[in-house]
Amino acid sequence: MAAEEWLAWQAHMGWSDARCARELGLGSRNTVASYRVHGAPRYIALACAALAYGLPPWRVSAADPPERRR
């Protein structure tokens, strides 16, 4: 996720740096500040998309095949 995309996502969500860090499970607001300048890794971009669409955290189900439960 490019820095411009991060800025657009944060503005869309209306979240402060502290809230972004909390919602994404990041260690600090410094990480969020770094994403504003350098962009975010793909896994963070995917988490941002999930949050933007209101998806709940992933839960592995007992009905999932064994190879998906690892």
Q: pLDDT of 13-59, one tens digit each?
A: 999 999 999 999 998 889 999 999 999 999 999 999 999 999 988 87
How many angstroms separate the CA atoms of 52 and 14, rounded?
11
Q: Find all residues with CB under 8 Å of 29, minimum gap 6, and list them.
A: 17, 18, 20, 21
Contact by Cβ (8 Å): 21, 28: yes
14 phi-psi bin (left φ>0, alpha ψ -120 to 50, beta other) = left
Where in the chain are the domains? 3-52
Q: Check whether 65 has a pLDDT greater than 70.
A: no
Residue at 39: amino acid letter = G
CA-based angle 12:47:10, to the nearest 5? Answer: 20
In this prediction the pTM is 0.77
